[in-house]
Structure 1
Amino acid sequence: MAARKTRNSVSGRVDGQVVQAGTITGPVTMHSSGIALPVWARVALIGVAAAVVALTVVVLTRSEPEPELRAVVAVGPGRCAGGWVVPPPAGPVTVVDRPEGSVQADQGQVAVTLQGSTSAAVVLQSMRVEVVSRRPAMSGVWLQTPCEGDVKPRSFGVDLNKPTAAAIGLPGRSSGEKVPAPSFPFQVNESEVEQFLITPNVSTDDVEWRLRVTWTSGDRRGETVVDDNGRPFRTTATTGVSASYCADLASSTWHPSTPSARCATLRSPAEASLVGTWRGAGTLTIAQDGTATWTTGSGTATIRLLSILDQKATADVVASTTPEIAAGERLSLVYFSDGITAYTQLGAELSWCRPDIACR
């Protein structure tokens, strides 16, 4: 005869602890022992339960995504002093937006468009450069780019000679009118964007780098890394190039200068007739190797010429004890047989002339 199956059951209210000893084989009925939890313990349990419910409601009812910052990047050759550096080519190079195997030259340009992901305001607080790697300047050929008329608004310079540096707003011109240097903060959302034009400066190195943009939105803070589609940006000085090619837009090629399509030629300080002493805003003395000393009544600056083209040059301030210019500042020079005019990135202008010629 088969054993009759039994079922355990629990009925009634159970307070306190329950202890099982051994194996239960028959029906079980549990009755309250009459020992209730203290009032304070019940209140505490009710509070914990209410808090859990409240937290659950907050998570479940949150529908809007958290704001974040999005970036779209375009790497370009910049204007005048920028361009591309490529390994020595076998012939003319086709003019394209970004030649194969090219590295952006010093004074190129990176356009960064920033946009919020929601309607909530995202306040851009600061932007700085982070250097990832550094090596000697790339050798090869410098593909020059034509000059443009205006320096656009929202332009910033970053100094790649330093491991980290803030982006410095640069004054510009728009439709011939001077535009003050931009400064943080800025504000974006999903319908309002900001575009920044970044000009990287590097003296003698080939540098990989990224931008880091810090932002706030309400009580949230974040930092967005901006790079070249997942890779660091790369910018090289032009101190390692052996020749410069100019762009012939009629044939859509870069090639060496010819009588019919002449481009600016790289020169040494001696070839450009810059060696010697110049007077005006203090005394400027330029040596054969391109180093220069500027002495004023308030101090002395050491300047290094980086690239010298026909009537144009770039230079960096290596050290300075004079308040007119600071160490690390980039100078753009325009020179003639009788005079030199230098423009700092922040818009200051300095002029020197040959000792026997009065400066205009």
Structure 2
Amino acid sequence: MVVGDGGGGFVADRATRARRAGWVALAAGAGAWALVKFDVFAGVDHPLVPVLKALSTGVAILGLVVCAAALVVVAKSRRSPGVTEEPGAVGEPGAVGPGNAVSGQVGGSVLQANTINGPVTMSTPLPLWIRLAVAFVVVAVLAVGVLSVVVLTASEEDPDLRAVTTVSFGHCAGGWVVPTPPGQLPIEDRPEGAVQADQGEVLVTLQGSLPAAVVLQSMRAEVVSRKPAATGVRLETPCEADVIPRSFGVDLTRDNPVAFGIPGADGGEKVPAPRFPFQVNESEVEQFVIKPNVSTDEVEWRLRITWTSGTRRGETVVDDNGRPFRTTGTTAVSANYCADLRIPAWTPPGEYCPPLKTPTQAGFTGAWTGSGTLTFTDDGTAVWATGGGEARIRLLSVDRYDRATADVVASTTPDISVGDRLRLNLTYDKASVRGLTQLGAEMLWCRPGVPCQ
């Protein structure tokens, strides 16, 4: 029993302690619930975040349970006979001092004194499970606080993966689409107001920020927006030899496509398509060439690269210096400007720069045989029939070298899939058509009666 001093100091009974425990549990539960409800750690990449969320949920639930139990204890305490104060004398049964007496149920230790002034309260302690639950809630709240500091402090450190990007026009494909200029344009890395054309390139250099290895697990594109292809003129790309190794394609005709490896060549030697995973650290880097494909749209997009480092897992967003990448199809351009490296400048159609061609003007007409049968129609589409089925191909644009970019829009043959990209090239004598898929498969079709070589 706890007794007030001679001045009648405050003495807490069982109901008061229960109320205090209920308020503590309710406040802790509400705070933990707020962490989960408002997702305070959204966007924070740390392995302890799931632990924090689970712990916060547990505290919120337990806090409500303890609060409800405390209310039950308070209600029972008010209904119990309690303790009364009656006059008595020292030495009489139940007496604790002159002018004070105790009646009803008495539990716990009893303190006797010669003289006691003021009220005397006798009560039993709170149930053990409530005291343990309150202690657990308090400890859990302290743990949530400590872990929050650890997580938020770690999230402010340098990322485990750094990325540097460069947007370029590509090689023998791609280019830029710009508003129609009044005349020729000087060749530069990225003209003002230019949108990257289909089959351009995004060069991504990846490096770890710590000595520990960072393993690159996968890469995909996130489509941010889509609208009709940009209008204006196309600035063509000067050609170079060999496809750079470590090339990946992303098919932006689909939503959030996974990047796929493209076979390349190095010094004339074929290089197989790259495959994840890759590994970097602060002294070792990887450089990827990303080739976005888009048909008749202009697409804003970002890259998302997932990685692991020890027990940590994260995702690095790669974009154009804080803005989404922009890539457009070339189906809405009005002219093709040629790259004259002697000036150097992009020049409008004229004596040196032939105008854009339609598939018919280029010679993509009639039926061709070889790798199956390829039949062009007047609307700029083609049907490729093989022994396993057929594919319908849509020609998107033709450059001055009689090369056409084409998409597969329907397919029942295992040789090619819907969404695949083709490069079709008429030979100089227009006697054969060579086709190349992004995955490195080669096809050859020839005029009827002309042997394919």
Please confirm whether the aligned pair reaches a TM-score higher than 0.5, indicating the same fold.
Answer: yes
Q: Given the alignment, which residue of 335, 339, 342 partners 2:426?
A: 335
Name the aligned partner's letter for residue 184 of structure 1. F
2: CA distance between counterparts of 1:284 and 1:258?
A: 33
Query: What residue is the counterpart of 2:58 in the other structure?
Result: none
Asked whether 1:223 is paired with 2:212, we answer: no
What is the number of equivalent residue pairs in this alignment? 332
Between the aligned partners of 2:382 and 2:423, the Cα distance in structure 1 is 14
1:290 to 380, 393, 400: 380
Relative distance call for 1:322 and 1:91 in structure 2 (3 A) is: same
C-alpha distance after superposition, 1:31-76 (max 9, x if no partner) = x999xxxxx999x98xx99xx89x979x89x999575211111000
Judge conservation of contact 2:183–2:348 (CA < 8 Å) in 1.
no
Match of 1:306 in 2: 396
Match of 1:7 in 2: none
2:192, 2:3 → 1: CA distance? 78
For residues 146 and 420 of structure 2, what CA distance do their matches in structure 1 show? 56
Q: Secondary structure at the match of 1:271?
A: helix
- Alpha-carbon distance, 1:264 to partner: 5.8
CA distance in structure 1 between the aligned counterparts of 2:279 and 2:185, rounded to whole angstroms: 41
CA-CA distance at 1:353 after TM superposition: 0.9
| Deviations, residues 153-203 of structure 1 (Å, cap 9, x unaligned) | 110000000011110100001111111110101111111111110000011
Match of 1:95 in 2: 187
Q: Check 1:123–1:21 CA distance in 2 against 1; reply closer, same or farther (3 A cut).
A: same
Match of 1:37 in 2: none
Query: C-alpha separation between the residues in 1 aligned to 2:3 and 2:291?
Result: 74
For 2:3 and 2:262, locate their aligned partners in 1 and report how far apart those are by CA, in whole Å: 75
- 1:315-334 correspondence runs (5 A): 315-334=406-425
TM-score, length of structure 2 as denominator length: 0.66
2:417 is aligned with what amino acid? A
Matched, 1:347 2:440: yes
Larger radius of gyration: 2
Q: Secondary structure at the match of 2:360?
A: coil
- Between the aligned partners of 1:324 and 1:331, the Cα distance in structure 2 is 12
- Which of residues 275, 280, 290 is equivalent to 1:188? 280
Gaps of 5+ in 2: 12-108, 112-128
Aligned residue for 2:326?
234
Equivalences for residues 185-264 of structure 1 within 5 A: 185-259=277-351, 262-263=352-353
Q: Which residue matches 1:272? A: 362
Q: TM-score, normalised by structure 1?
A: 0.83
Higher RCO, Cα 8 Å, sep 6+: 1
Superposition deviation, residue 323 in structure 1: 1.1
Which of 227, 244, 261 is the aligned partner of 1:152? 244
2:4 touches 2:10 (CA, 8 Å); kept in 1? no
Letter in 2 for 1:156: F
Structure 2 residue 159 is matched with structure 1 residue 170: no
Tell me the residue number matched to 1:28. none
% identity of equivalent residues: 61
Please say if residues 213 and 309 of structure 2, whose CA atoms lie closer than 8 Å, have aligned partners that are also in contact: yes
Match of 2:33 in 1: none
Match of 2:19 in 1: none
Greater helix proportion: 2
Structure 1 alignment gaps of length 5 or more: 1-14, 23-31, 35-39
> Distance in 1 between the 2:292 and 2:261 partners?
12
Q: Root-mean-square deviation (CA), in Å?
A: 3.3
For residue 271 of structure 2, what is the amino acid of its counterpart? V
Aligned position for 2:212: 120
8 Å CA contact 1:67, 1:122 repeated in 2: no
Hey, which of these two has a bigger chunk of strand by percent?
1
Counterpart in the other structure of 1:6? none
CA contact (8 A) 1:67 1:120 kept: no
Shift of 1:266: 2.1
> How has the CA–CA distance of structure 1 residues 222 and 255 changed in structure 2, closer, same or farther, with 3 Å as cutoff?
same
